[in-house]
Amino acid sequence: MNILVTGGMGYIGSHTCVELLQAGHTPIILDNLYNSNLAVLDNIAEITGKTPVFVQGDIRCRETLDGLFAQHKIDAVIHFAALKAVAESVQKPLEYYDCNVTGTLVLLQAMQAAGCNTLVFSSSATVYGSENQVPFCEDMPVGTATNPYGSTKIMMERILQDMAVANPDWKISLLRYFNPVGAHPSGKLGEDPNGIPNNLMPIICRVAQGKMEELLITGNDYDTPDGTGVRDYIHVVDLALGHLKALDKVVQTPGCSIHNLGTGKGLSVLELVQAFEKASGITLPRRFAPRRPGDIAESYANVDRAARELGWQAKHSSAEEICQDVWRFLTKSNKR
């Protein structure tokens, strides 16, 4: 299939393009390189032996999208492109609503005009908010977002659900990712955000590289086994493979489906830090700090629906494999 991959140069998008190419699909990447760089294209080519079509452009540009749909017979869209930094979204709400919500609306309008009605969408566990109890299940009511980033994901899910009601021939898959981590086992792709990282694993990497002085463990007084926050860390290759399964399913399923992509198990900050120290041989300078505003104690998925309906489950997401792959990426790609 010819797949338009918005945000395909980014962390999750690039790993998904590798799996798409290896499965015989043809990804066509649209990315404005806001949070990625051109080297990713060479790295995808080195891993797969194929260079995907890449167009540098913005999902908010209707002309660019119309051109892409006119030039390629696009069978489906995987829509990763978004801004994703939670704290930044509080400072810059308009940029987040514009990129994420306006961008999705323009994309949907272009798809509709081109007669392309199959979409896999990057949603997030953030939509469960703080009201629901773990493990989070797809049939729970969506929670209240504590930041504009989370609000954009809730809004986009709603827009896509409304689209499916209004257009019964549309096929939409909402994938709620838990905490994506890890890197490609080749060491050629991984998470390399532009600017100051927000998430735990990229921060761990910066501390290991000596680019940040220490890791602040934000909260050790949660009601969890060791007092630190518990999350469902999912290897990015597992996540990428989940997209292929979702794609296979969505092409034959009109309507809007929702699937959690996680492991179903929680890991604490300390457990992840210890696994990283073991994989790298580095002792990370760290200390406990107050809780981060808006954080919840625990987040992990009920993954039964993805197993049952998509035939997908995480296979590479042990703390050991995740940390070994991240460490290989840091060392092999000279990111240290």
- Which one of residues 17, 19, 78, 84 is an interface residue with ligand NAD (CB under 6 A)? 84
13 binds ligand NAD (CB under 6 A): yes
Instruction: Identify which of residues 84 and 243 has a Cβ nearer to ligand WQD in the complex.
Output: 84
The answer to whether 184 touches 15, Cβ cutoff 8 Å, is yes
Instruction: Enumerate residues 54-83 that contact ligand WQD by CB under 6 A.
Output: none
The CA-based dihedral angle spanning residues 278, 301, 88, 144, taken in that order and rounded to the nearest 10 degrees: -150
Enumerate residues 6+ apart whose C-beta is below 8 A from 305: 137, 138, 258, 259, 260
Binding mask 258-287 for ligand NAD (x = CB under 6 A): ------------------------------
Q: Smallest distance from the beta carbon of 126 to ligand WQD, in angstroms?
A: 3
Q: Tell me the window of 43-51, 57-65, 211-219, 301-309 that interacts with ligand WQD (CB under 6 A).
A: 211-219
The answer to whether 268 touches 226, Cβ cutoff 8 Å, is yes
Instruction: Identify which of residues 57 and 129 has a Cβ nearer to ligand WQD in the complex.
Output: 129
Q: How far apart are CA 30 and CA 229, in angstroms?
A: 35
Q: Smallest distance from the beta carbon of 281 to ligand NAD, in angstroms?
A: 26
124 binds ligand WQD (CB under 6 A): yes
Q: Smallest distance from the beta carbon of 136 to ligand NAD, in angstroms?
A: 13
- Which one of residues 32, 220, 280, 313 is an interface residue with ligand NAD (CB under 6 A)? 32
Residue among 149, 177, 222, 233 flagged as catalytic: 149
Instruction: Identify which of residues 164 and 189 has a Cβ nearer to ligand NAD in the complex.
Output: 189
34 is annotated as an active-site residue: no
Enumerate residues 6+ apart whose C-beta is below 8 A from 181: 191, 201, 233, 234, 235, 236, 272, 322, 326
211 binds ligand WQD (CB under 6 A): no
- Which one of residues 73, 292, 315, 336 is an interface residue with ligand WQD (CB under 6 A)? 292
Q: Smallest distance from the beta carbon of 217 to ligand WQD, in angstroms?
A: 4
Instruction: List residues with catalytic annotation.
Output: 149
Residues that bind ligand WQD (CB under 6 A): 84, 86, 124, 126, 179, 198-200, 203, 216-219, 229, 231, 269, 292, 295, 299
Residues that bind ligand NAD (CB under 6 A): 6-7, 9-13, 30-36, 58-60, 80-84, 99, 103, 122, 124, 177, 180, 199
